[in-house]
Structure 1
Amino acid sequence: MAFEILDVQPIYEGYSTLVMATLSAPDGSTFRREIEHHGDAACVLPYDPERRCALLVSLPRAPVTWRGGPDQLLEAPAGMIDEGEDAQTCARREALEEAGVKLGALEPLGAVYASPGVSTERIALYLAPYARTDRVGDGGGLDHEQEHITVLEVPLAELWSKLEGGELTDLKSFTLVYALKARRPELFA
C-alpha cells in the first residue's frame, strides 16, 4: 500500500488556494498536511555569451521582506503560466515583459517543485542566449501588475561571486546560474 490522499478540505481560496489534505500511510495510520496551490511557473536566465553577462530583475518580495530579508530580491525573469499557455511561451513572455528581451531558442533544464513540503508549484527552468540587439524594450513589468521591477545586466563573473557570497538567494535563479556555469564554464572566466 502506498501513501494516498483520503480527503481534501478547502481552507482558503484566492490568488492562492489552501487546502487541508488527510493522507493514509502504508501502516494504516493517517496524518494531515496543508497544501498551497497557485499554479505552475516558468523561469528563464537570459545570458549574452558574447558579452558574458546575464539579464536579471530586482523587485520587492513581500514574504522575503516580512521574513527579515532584503527589500528587493535579485532574480531571473519568471512568472505564472497562464491558462492555455505552455511553459516556453510563458518564459518568453516574462522575459519580454520583465527584462525587455526577445528570446529565441530556449535551453530546457526541467521542471522542479519550488517548495514541495507545502506547495504544488512546479517551475519550468530555462537558459536562453541573447544578443544586444534582442533587447527590444525597457522591461520593468506590466504597469497594472505593480511589480516595481528594475532590470539589471550583470557580468557572469560578478553573478557567480554573488552566488558564492550568499547574495543570490532566490532558489530558481541560483539553480539557473549553477546550470549555466556547469554547461558553459568559459563564460564565467
Structure 2
Amino acid sequence: MNPTITILKEETLSDNWYTLKNYTFKYKNREGVQEEQKREVYHNGNGVTVLLYNRKKRTVLFTRQFRIASYTNGNPSGMMIETCAGIMDEKDPEAAVIRETEEETGLEIQSTRKVFEAYMSPGAVSEKLHFFVAEYSDDMKVSEGGGEEEEQEHIQVLEVPFEEALQMVQSGKINDAKTILLLQYAQINGLMD
C-alpha cells in the first residue's frame, strides 16, 4: 500500500448492478502537503476483451448491443459496436475471454494471445481490462451466441471486413475505446498480413 494515502472513510452509495462507493481519504500531494479529498469509485470487477479476426477472409467480428450509458450521453440509438468483452468471473483472464466469446458470438475459440492491460477510466472506475486477440474460423461456431438471457443481453454479431472496420472508426460509427485500441493494435502489428 502507498504510505502517502490514508483511507478515512468508505461508504457504499449503491450496490445494484455493480458497487458505487464514496471514499474520503488523505493524500500527500507533490508539494508534500497532506490534503483531504472525496471521490466516488465505481467497482465492477476486472474485465476482458478480444479482437476476433480471420486473416484468410480479412474480417473481424464485433458485437452490437444497446448501452444505456452511451444513450444518456447523446448516442441517439444507444447501440454500440464493440469487440467481444465481459467481466472476469474467474481469476484467469484467458478463461474469461474464451467464455465470453462463446456466450456472445457462439464461437469456441482455440487459442488467444494477450496483448496488454489497461485502465479505461481510472478517474472513476476501478476496472482493469485485459486485451486479447484471437483468430477465428467459421468451423468454430458451436451456437448462435447473443449473450446471456438472464443478463438481458441482446447481442447481434457482426462480421466486418477489416478495412471497413478501420473506416468505421474514422467515421465515428465505432466509438468504443477498447475496440479502437484493438483495431489499432491489429493494424500496427500487421495481424491481417
TM-score, shorter chain, exceeding 0.5: yes
The code of the aligned residue for 2:10 comes to V
What is the rounded CA distance, in whole Å, between the counterparts of 1:161 and 1:90 in structure 2?
Answer: 29
Q: Deviations over 1:100-145 (max 9, x none)?
A: 1111221112221121010111111101011221223221112222
The alpha carbon displacement at 1:7 in A equals 2.5
What is the rounded CA distance, in whole Å, between the counterparts of 2:94 and 2:50 in structure 1?
Answer: 9
The code of the aligned residue for 1:179 comes to Y
- Stretches of 4+ aligned residues off by more than 3 angstroms: none
How big is the alpha-carbon RMSD for the aligned residues of Structure 1 and Structure 2? 1.6
Tell me, yes or no, if structure 1 residue 89 matches structure 2 residue 95: yes
The code of the aligned residue for 1:47 comes to Y
What is the rounded CA distance, in whole Å, between the counterparts of 2:21 and 2:149 in structure 1?
Answer: 32
Tell me, yes or no, if structure 1 residue 76 matches structure 2 residue 58: no
What is the rounded CA distance, in whole Å, between the counterparts of 1:97 and 1:186 in structure 2?
Answer: 25
What is the rounded CA distance, in whole Å, between the counterparts of 1:135 and 1:10 in structure 2?
Answer: 42
Instruction: For residue 20 of structure 2, give the secondary structure of its aligned residue in structure 1.
Output: strand
What is the rounded CA distance, in whole Å, between the counterparts of 2:122 and 2:16 in structure 1?
Answer: 20
Instruction: For residue 97 of structure 1, give the secondary structure of its aligned residue in structure 2.
Output: helix
Of 16, 26, 39, the residue aligned with 1:14 is: 16
Aligned-pair identity (%): 28
What is the rounded CA distance, in whole Å, between the counterparts of 1:130 and 1:17 in structure 2?
Answer: 35
The alpha carbon displacement at 1:185 in A equals 6.0
Aligned residue for 1:2?
Answer: 4
What is the rounded CA distance, in whole Å, between the counterparts of 1:109 and 1:131 in structure 2?
Answer: 20
- Where does structure 1 lack aligned partners over 5 or more consecutive residues? none
What is the rounded CA distance, in whole Å, between the counterparts of 1:184 and 1:138 in structure 2?
Answer: 29
Instruction: For residue 78 of structure 1, give the secondary structure of its aligned residue in structure 2.
Output: strand
- Where does structure 2 lack aligned partners over 5 or more consecutive residues? none
Tell me, yes or no, if structure 1 residue 106 matches structure 2 residue 108: no
Of 24, 27, 37, the residue aligned with 2:26 is: 24
Instruction: For residue 173 of structure 2, give the secondary structure of its aligned residue in structure 1.
Output: coil
What is the rounded CA distance, in whole Å, between the counterparts of 1:101 and 1:85 in structure 2?
Answer: 21
What is the rounded CA distance, in whole Å, between the counterparts of 2:52 and 2:158 in structure 1?
Answer: 11
Aligned residue for 2:57?
Answer: 51
The code of the aligned residue for 1:7 comes to K
Aligned residue for 2:72?
Answer: 66
Tell me, yes or no, if structure 1 residue 175 matches structure 2 residue 162: no
What is the rounded CA distance, in whole Å, between the counterparts of 1:86 and 1:24 in structure 2?
Answer: 34
What is the rounded CA distance, in whole Å, between the counterparts of 1:99 and 1:128 in structure 2?
Answer: 13
Instruction: For residue 117 of structure 1, give the secondary structure of its aligned residue in structure 2.
Output: coil
**Distance change (3 Å), C-alpha of 1:71 and 1:29:** closer
The alpha carbon displacement at 1:186 in A equals 4.8
TM-score (ref. length: structure 1) = 0.92
